Amino acid sequence: MDVAERIRQQTEQLSIESDKGKITLTASFGVCSVKEYHDIEVAISKADQAMFQAKSTGRNLVRTSQIIISEFAS
């Protein structure tokens, strides 16, 4: 999450000059942390859900989702 937050902050500070004036950017990130490697599709889905949560709660945010190991217990 720290890396995503640093990227978000640096993106927010960018200022690009164009013919039509200054362009500013923001970015939203969804991050999924896992303690052990499991199904990559599940991790991507959780990160995607976190990103949409960031966008729907104000944008320019980082939201996280954790995969609980017990979710994958047999």
Domains in the chain, start-ordered, CATH in brackets? Answer: 2-72 (3.30.70.270)
| CA pair distance 68, 23, nearest whole angstrom | 40
**E strands within the chain?**
15-18, 21-24, 29-34, 62-67
Prediction pTM value = 0.75
Structure confidence at residue 41 (pLDDT)? 86
Question: How confident is the model over 14-73, as pLDDT tens digits?
Answer: 999 999 999 999 999 999 988 776 678 888 999 999 999 999 998 999 999 877 654 444
**pLDDT, position 74:** 44
Q: How far apart are CA 66 and CA 47, in angstroms?
A: 9
Report the pLDDT value the prediction gives residue 55, as an integer from 0 to 100.
93
